[in-house]
């Protein structure tokens, strides 16, 4: 368990700078701080809501639906991502 947690912490440290560079490059000029705020708020809200949601699903004796709910949120992200990109391009013109 100690080795797994150490590896998870290391990999989190490896991923975070790459994620931060992607956020900075995707943000409009002069709005990197606002973009980081939105991303951080999203992580915080997800960290609060997901354990409550998944715990409730587990309490309903449907642990397989934890994966189903995860798929729903992942698909929502994929479906919504092109719309945010179009909005940003439209406002740039």
Query: How many structural domains are present in the chain?
Result: 1
Q: Beta-carbon neighbour count of residue 39 at 10 Å?
A: 16
Residue 48, both tokens? 């609060």
Q: Which residues are within 8 A (CB) of 35 and not within 5 positions of it... i.e. 6 or more apart?
A: 23, 24, 26, 27, 28
CA–CA separation, 36 and 38 (whole Å): 5
Task: Give me the helices (H) in 27-63, please.
Answer: 32-59
pTM over the 0.85 mark = no
Range of the domain at 32: 2-92
pLDDT tens per residue across span 10-57 = 998 998 888 888 888 888 888 888 988 988 898 899 999 999 999 999
**What is the per-residue pLDDT for 77?**
87
**What is the per-residue pLDDT for 44?**
93
CA–CA separation, 78 and 71 (whole Å): 11
């Amino acid at each position: 368990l100690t080795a797994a947690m150490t590896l998870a912490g290391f990999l989190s440290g490896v991923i975070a700078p790459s994620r931060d560079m992607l956020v900075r490059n995707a943000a409009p000029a002069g709005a990197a701080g606002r973009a980081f705020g939105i991303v951080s708020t999203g992580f915080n809200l997800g960290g609060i809501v997901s354990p409550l949601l998944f715990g409730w699903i587990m309490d309903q004796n449907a642990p397989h639906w934890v994966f189903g709910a995860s798929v729903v949120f992942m698909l929502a992200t994929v479906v919504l991502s092109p719309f945010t990109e179009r909005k940003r391009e439209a406002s740039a013109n």
